[in-house]
Amino acid sequence: METRKVQVTGGSSYIITLPKEWVLSAKIKKNDPVGVAPQPDGSLLITPNATMERDTLTKEFLVDSITDGSFLFRLLIGAYISGYANILVRAKGGIPPNLRDSIISFTQTLIGPEIVEEDANYIFIKDLLKPTELPFDKTLKRMYLLVKGMHESTIAALSGRDKEMASEVIKRDRDVDRLQWLVARQTHMLLDDISLSKKMDIRQPDVTLYLTMSRILERVGDHAIIIATHIPVLIDTDIGAKSADTIANASRQALQMLSKSMEAWQKRDMVLANDNIESLKPLIRNCKKINDMAANMDGEPAVALSYISESIRRTGEYATDISELLINSLVND
């Protein structure tokens, strides 16, 4: 870390010089404004281009050499998460139908981006959602309710022998993904722009916590998909009411742990978070009962039970991960 001497000018103003390398890399010119923000720890944060509006940030993709629509979709996701407000897709020879379909799928999947201009050779996408319009806590609560509902529906599908309900759970995965992508985007924007965190009334240390929580909830949703994928096998096998109840009890226990972890987060309650971590051992014992059931079966039913047991256990473990993250965060308060 460099040190600079504080100088006095005009008898009342205190000044320091800025490192030349930083000024050049930030493309700061004479008379350009910079942001100056005192931090809670007593440090001073200096940011370039304090008056720059984020809606001027544009990412351009030339797609003449791209033939894979999935690749273009991933590029668009990357630009979205990176915080670009505008995305321009060009092709000198015209945008082919499969790439156009990927662009449309991108705007229909993500929260905010909309096509505002297009012709045969270009498509201009603009993000219409301001970061302050959808706070982190609301997004995380929505993700929690979605994944909780997915898990509950998988067990209801098993109890009601309803394959169609299990299939519907799989279709909800994209709803969770789009919220996680939104959190990733907002995280990138907040870490890049200190003034935005002040507008959203969010402490910088909490930003990483929110991002990690969103990733955990997205993975909990993935495990609901795994369970739903294997439910039809158990329905066809007719494992019996007792075995179905064993699975349902373990699933309810895992969801109770997830609920407590979210409650501890909202209440900022370390004691509740710690109690939740201790409740993992009983869940592991109940998951072992499902594994014992699998040991007495052959073929696809045994495999399905093993996957379901693993996903229920992982859901409980992810709940403890949230509780541990909360404790680590609150220790510094």
Beta bridge partners of 231: none
Q: Do 60 and 97 share a domain, yes or no?
A: yes
Q: Do 201 and 325 share a domain, yes or no?
A: yes
pTM of the model: 0.83
DSSP assignments along 72-138, one per residue: HHHHHHHHHHTT-SEEEEE-TT---HHHHHHHHHHHHHSSSEEEEEE-SSEEEEEE---GGGS-HHH
End of a domain among 131, 152, 187?
131
Distance in angstroms (rounded) separating the CA atoms of residues 214 and 136: 9
Q: Do 178 and 228 share a domain, yes or no?
A: yes
End of a domain among 92, 113, 131?
131
Give me the chain's average pLDDT, please: 89
CATH code at position 171: 1.20.58.220
Position 51 scores a pLDDT of: 47
DSSP assignments along 280-294, one per residue: HHHHHHHHHHHHHHH
End of a domain among 116, 131, 146?
131
Q: Do 149 and 89 share a domain, yes or no?
A: no
* pLDDT less than 50: residues of the chain: 50-51
Q: Is 1 within the bounds of a domain?
A: no
Position 286 scores a pLDDT of: 94
Q: Do 101 and 154 share a domain, yes or no?
A: no
CB proximity list for 195: less than 8 A, separation 6 or greater: 35, 37, 47, 50
Q: Do 78 and 223 share a domain, yes or no?
A: no
Q: Do 209 and 299 share a domain, yes or no?
A: yes
Give the 3-state secondary structure of residue 273.
helix
Distance in angstroms (rounded) separating the CA atoms of residues 164 and 168: 6
Q: Is 95 within the bounds of a domain?
A: yes
Joined together, the tokens standing for residue 102 give: 């990927």
- Can you say whether the dihedral through the CA atoms of 187, 191, 193, 195 is positive or negative? positive
CA-based radius of gyration for the chain: 25
Position 53 scores a pLDDT of: 55
Q: Which domain holds residue 102?
A: 54-131
Element (H, E) at 141: helix 136-159
